[in-house]
Structure 1
């Protein structure tokens, strides 16, 4: 069990939080640039940064050569500029992703860079068993942080990402059809076992936080992350924040009623996008129409690429429904970018053309200018998302990491 738990941030004002957030997400960055982007005076920036430098969370060392090569702005004439950057190993975080078959865990640094990865197969899906295995996996990862040869900083918290309706404030999974859970407390029992603050989040929203702080969202005014796998999820970033929803539910793209009404979803309702567009739904359709019940997803993809009409129909149908759902979301929210992600999404070029055609057909006016970007993710990325939610809560002083 890790000996090094928590490390308070010297942030006493909202200005300090804003300055550290800019350094963390956009650094290395000079003080004058922080002032321009936040509207704070340079004196206020210097005042906010001083205790962070003294405590070892931030450094003002000269920019590295590769940063200069990437064209970072030169500010100031006739005097050297010392950009501010976060000290990555000043703290460490653990992120855990729960799936119906496995647990995936990572340790990361303060910049959400992955340090170590561990996977563990689930023995069953009962909440008690999963929480016990989460504790075991977290302990294994904590032991890697205690390695004397590892430069990792003190552990500040553990993030857990679960699919479904999650009450992050209370650390409760209210409804997860894939896990078969309803009203399951996770943060409290896991935190009591490990004596570490635990943040529980919806998995897609956690992935969106990662993109907001450490990915495509750093420079975007608004974006959406749509995930396609066993389910179809959506995370939204608008008006400077990842959308949580008044009741903790938002962006449930997979449950828009855009599919045939005779198809029953895992949530128990009919006609959800997931009944046609999820990888499980595509595979079920190909098995049914080809009469090959033993077929796996890679086999279905091979059939479609070989020109099998039944397999092609399943992917075309999925692309049509996903494209329509994307258009509905973009018409309502208006993001400038949609990242379409998933463990095997790069293989789904099979429905890419049909998806884009359906999107163009239903997107209203300038909403059709929204960029659609396909990008593959691994389960390690989902676990990293869970860690990113801890980093965000730590910087902002949110429960259970409030200062």
Structure 2
């Protein structure tokens, strides 16, 4: 077993080196992964055989062909892909993602009229049709799935999702049975954090906090390349984090809680009340602001300031190298991200570094959800490539 563990660790070191530095010649891998040339040669042979790496056209070399570039196998014919699923409250998002986290195809499935009790079955049917439509013969590794609420990834169970009314639901097993695929499941805030560590901002590998602001509001913390789960995988519940200055009533009986103040549900309801949009949709609100509606812009900027004040508290507590904000308006328009940064700076207390440069949006931009969901499956693969071989 010790030998197997060592080989898996070595294979992971080579795969991560190629992820971060590829295309790279074999001779360039030992200095960046700390293994001997002989160990690198053994591992690259296995990774090429498994299809995770590929040789690119390049100049010839001597013994061991040291100058032939290696890269992750993202080839259009043989490159493995991962199915991705994010389950939101108003809609689900499907994706097909390669080994570099690039989203090759995606589609939304609105939940209008779908019963939450039978939603997984409806999702599986539509996801199967999506995968069949985009099937080009490339190996399909499985499905990475993410959603809000309390999720236990080791069990594949949704412990609690308030908006969908789910309790102790074995969602991974349900999806796996319906699709005939291996499925890994996690909370979407942790999934975005893992995607940033694997594919995104280099400083995220040192430490990061991710704040997800949608219909569900939650967070994740990672340090030295690992996302913290906590006992029972319950870490990240920030729905009742206080927002400085907010007096919005919360169903918990208090005022100023983050979810009641800044969630998509709260923002959409306020936009309808003010007559800005006909239905409680943040996407419609963002569109209205983009077309010049000052009321929509004011509402989005107010939300951005509330998110920034909450972000300042997270910066004070964790002092991460990077704080990643996944919030629709700031993903699409830089001005709302600047509003978040300015509010955080004005609220900042303890941590010595200025907050603005450290507050960023996810590297995948509007494709953040399928990229993060795929990472639920890809991250374990990069940690132990033997699970595929």
Q: Please give the range of the TM-score, normalised by the shorter of the 2 chains.
A: 0.7 to 0.9
Which whole-Å CA distance do the structure 2 matches of 1:22 and 1:211 have between them? 16
Q: Matches of residues 178-257 of structure 1 in structure 2 within 5 Å?
A: 178-217=163-202, 220-257=205-242
Determine the structure 2 residue equivalent to 1:74.
none
What do the CA deviations read for 1:182-206 (whole angstroms, capped 9, x no partner)? 2111011221222211111111222
Which whole-Å CA distance do the structure 2 matches of 1:218 and 1:365 have between them? 17
What do the CA deviations read for 1:286-318 (whole angstroms, capped 9, x no partner)? 555x5879576555864997666x974x55653
Determine the structure 2 residue equivalent to 1:387.
374
What do the CA deviations read for 1:64-118 (whole angstroms, capped 9, x no partner)? 9xxxxxxxxxxxxxx9733321112432211111122222211222333323323
Which whole-Å CA distance do the structure 2 matches of 1:398 and 1:80 have between them? 22
Determine the structure 1 residue equivalent to 2:129.
140
Instruction: Identify which range, 383-392 or 366-375, moves more after superposition.
Output: 366-375
Q: Post-superposition shift, 1:353? A: 5.3
> Given the alignment, which residue of 82, 87, 103 partners 1:93?
82
What do the CA deviations read for 1:305-335 (whole angstroms, capped 9, x no partner)? 7666x974x5565344322321221222222
Determine the structure 1 residue equivalent to 2:318.
333
Q: Post-superposition shift, 1:54? A: 3.3
Which whole-Å CA distance do the structure 2 matches of 1:291 and 1:158 have between them? 40
Determine the structure 2 residue equivalent to 1:161.
146
Say whether the 8 Å CA contact 1:360–1:368 is kept in structure 2. yes
Which whole-Å CA distance do the structure 2 matches of 1:211 and 1:161 have between them? 15
How many residue pairs end up in the alignment? Answer: 372
Q: Which ranges of structure 1 fall in alignment gaps of 5 or more residues?
A: 1-9, 65-78
Determine the structure 2 residue equivalent to 1:28.
23
Instruction: Identify which range, 93-102 or 82-91, moves more after superposition.
Output: 82-91
Which whole-Å CA distance do the structure 1 matches of 2:385 and 2:160 have between them? 23
What do the CA deviations read for 1:201-242 (whole angstroms, capped 9, x no partner)? 111222222222222248752233333333433333312212
Determine the structure 2 residue equivalent to 1:373.
360
Which whole-Å CA distance do the structure 2 matches of 1:50 and 1:351 have between them? 48
Say whether the 8 Å CA contact 2:153–2:185 is kept in structure 1. yes
Q: With structure 2 as the length reference, what TM-score do the two structures score?
A: 0.80
Q: Which ranges of structure 2 fall in alignment gaps of 5 or more residues?
A: 60-64
> Given the alignment, which residue of 100, 107, 113 partners 1:118?
107
User: Counterpart of 1:250 in 2: which secondary structure?
Assistant: coil
> Given the alignment, which residue of 25, 29, 42 partners 1:47?
42
Say whether the 8 Å CA contact 2:211–2:220 is kept in structure 1. yes
> Given the alignment, which residue of 164, 174, 177 partners 2:159?
174
User: Counterpart of 1:161 in 2: which secondary structure?
Assistant: strand
Does 1:396 pair with 2:383? yes
Determine the structure 2 residue equivalent to 1:152.
138
Which whole-Å CA distance do the structure 1 matches of 2:339 and 2:105 have between them? 39
> How has the CA–CA distance of structure 1 residues 306 and 391 changed in structure 2, closer, same or farther, with 3 Å as cutoff?
closer
Which whole-Å CA distance do the structure 2 matches of 1:291 and 1:121 have between them? 23
> How has the CA–CA distance of structure 1 residues 320 and 103 changed in structure 2, closer, same or farther, with 3 Å as cutoff?
closer
Q: Post-superposition shift, 1:391? A: 1.6
Q: With structure 1 as the length reference, what TM-score do the two structures score?
A: 0.77
Q: Post-superposition shift, 1:55? A: 3.7
